[in-house]
Amino acid sequence: MKSNTLYRTENGDKMLCGVCGGIAEHFEIDPTLVRLGWVLATLGTCSIGFWAYLLCALLLPSKSEVLSA
C-alpha cells in the first residue's frame, strides 16, 4: 500500500540524506530528474534550494518510520 506521506529513502535511491529519492518514490519518477531539478533550483535561486533540502532532511521522516506507523 502506497503512503501519502513524503519521506526520506534509506538505501537504494539515497545519495546524501535521501530527500530526492523519497520525493521520486512518492511521485513515481526517476530520482535523477529530481536531483537535477533540485540542483537547478539551487543555482537559479541563490542557494534557496540548498536550504530547502536541508530543511527537508531535518523534517521528513525516514521510510521505515512511515511504514512502521
Q: Are the CB atoms for 7 and 45 separated by under 8 Å?
A: no
Count CB neighbours of 41 within 10 A: 15
pLDDT of residue 16: 83
Cα(10)–Cα(14) distance, integer angstroms: 6
CA 27 to chain centre: 11
Tens digit of pLDDT for each residue in 2-55? 567 788 787 766 778 888 888 888 888 998 999 999 889 889 988 888 899 899
Confidence of residue 1 (pLDDT cuts 50, 70, 90): very low
Tens digit of pLDDT for each residue in 56-66? 989 988 887 77
